[in-house]
A and B are shown apart, each in its own frame.
Chain A
């Protein structure tokens, strides 16, 4: 039997505060007390403010921790974010409703150099996809003395719980559009499309430690070996982000849920290629782990007998080494690769882009140069803490000017050079 998931998109045209939380006629009504009560179930959170930020409004959100799309499982096994918010159970089949156009954005000061800006208007809005979503923004403060590990976890769970709460409001709403994703097993795929090149997707997950973590069905990815996962599982929240660094090229939970590599491979499936499977692998700090994980990823590609593989990276610096190891080893077993990364090529774009390289890694898609300098205007309202702009990636001493404008590198913006290609930078 095939794995089939239907995504039912409920198009959200506005978010408004109301006495009752509900979805009606495309409007997401939220009672902020519902959210505050939910978030404050966690005694580690002292306060929570709820704001709405709409596209075009003069609002800057910073520092952004995570962005999450509200979804609910309406048919089929499991619940959204299995092993974390939902019970441990297989997901990726049946039907899932999506509040399309809405997002939960979490902010909060975990450490003094917290990252990420979303501008809803102006120059900065051009670089983040989340200037186009209707955002429910949670600004949370911890109780005194909460350590960064616990603080990160508290904010992560608050965001997920809120997204699940909002998703639940769409359970009985008829979707505006339904998109179906079907995964054939290996045998059926080969029989059905004997003449099409078989392509795998290898997704690298950030997994280095505090504020650099990703969870798969609730398991810390650094404790995993490379494995096979169904792409539709990811649409139900099997992978979620605990990653708070390098905002430009980290994958938020929203990115995972909407992974464009998966969506594009499904679009091409049966036409120009046969999407033969998906492999997830980690990015650990220990070099032997890098060797082991890339060995394993290449072995799985070899075993699946694919003709090509797309490898996407997450983050800056040492993941370049994982990326190149993956590309090199997958090529060595006779599988063509294309890597997706971004670049730190200096402000003039003339420096070496990656911290590692190999002649076998000869096909690349880039998310852009994260060192590019941009100028952000003063906006009327700041949600969060603007004083961190001086100390977050891409900002620099004095980057926050007295008139409220900011001179910075584009890497300060959440999702600007995303390495899944979920971004707006293009050479076209």
Chain B
């Protein structure tokens, strides 16, 4: 099966779970860097399928973020709703200061699991679309 969406993530757990089945663009990095990667995709025509601020966990708590996008057809086909949504998410993220210089491994693992769970709740909908 070929899907027209891709998963952008900085969460290795998401890559491990979905990497074989779907197109997963995995790169370690900060929460904000992940949103900037999504923004770049949106500027290249991708459409957001999930909200960039999934979960009620604050951007300065969880280091992990995963976003599903519909693949774009280039910068001449911009989805402006997606542009507004990702820009608002970046503005919101910058309001929160980084809090964890060193995060315990168990807490990191829990945040990764929650991010995965939030995205699991959307995967069946995305694959049926």
Chain A: residues with CB nearer than 8 A to chain B?
Answer: 111-113, 148-149, 206, 208-212, 222, 243, 245-246, 249-250, 284-290, 315-321, 344, 346, 351-352, 355-356, 371, 391, 393, 395-397
Q: How far is the CA of A355 from the CA of B92 in the complex (A)?
A: 6
Contact in complex: B56, A285 (CB < 8 Å): no
Given A113-B57, A208-B121, A286-B125, output 6 extra A-B contacts at Cβ < 8 Å.
Answer: A113-B107, A246-B56, A285-B119, A351-B95, A355-B91, A393-B61
Q: How far is the CA of A393 from the CA of B114 in the complex (A)?
A: 15
The 3 A-B pairs at the shortest CB distance, nearest first, are namely: A112-B107, A317-B53, A210-B117
Which residues of the other chain, A, contact B100 by a CB distance below 8 angstroms? 391, 397
Contact in complex: A113, B117 (CB < 8 Å): no
Interface size range on B against A = 35 or more
Contact in complex: A210, B118 (CB < 8 Å): yes
* Given A288-B49, A290-B51, A317-B55; A355-B89 close (CB under 8 Å): yes
Contact in complex: A208, B54 (CB < 8 Å): yes
Q: How far is the CA of A395 from the CA of B48 in the complex (A)?
A: 31
Which residues of the other chain, B, contact A318 by a CB distance below 8 angstroms? 51-55
- Interface presence of B129 (CB below 8 A): yes
Q: How far is the CA of A210 from the CA of B107 in the complex (A)?
A: 15
Contact in complex: A396, B118 (CB < 8 Å): no
Contact in complex: A397, B53 (CB < 8 Å): no
Which residues of the other chain, A, contact B118 by a CB distance below 8 angstroms? 208-210, 212, 285
* Given A246-B56, A355-B53, A391-B107; A285-B91 close (CB under 8 Å): no
- Interface presence of B75 (CB below 8 A): no
Contact in complex: A396, B97 (CB < 8 Å): yes
* Given A111-B110, A290-B51, A397-B100; A317-B92 close (CB under 8 Å): yes
Pairs across A and B, CB under 8 Å, 9 listed: A148-B113, A208-B55, A209-B120, A287-B48, A316-B56, A317-B53, A352-B92, A395-B99, A397-B101
Which residues of the other chain, B, contact A317 by a CB distance below 8 angstroms? 51, 53-56, 58-59, 92
Contact in complex: B91, A288 (CB < 8 Å): no
- Interface presence of B106 (CB below 8 A): yes
Q: Distance in Å from the Cβ of B32 to the closest Cβ of chain A?
A: 14
Which residues of the other chain, B, contact A222 by a CB distance below 8 angstroms? 121
* Given A285-B121, A287-B51; A113-B111 close (CB under 8 Å): yes
Q: Distance in Å from the Cβ of A403 to the closest Cβ of chain B?
A: 21
- Interface presence of B126 (CB below 8 A): yes
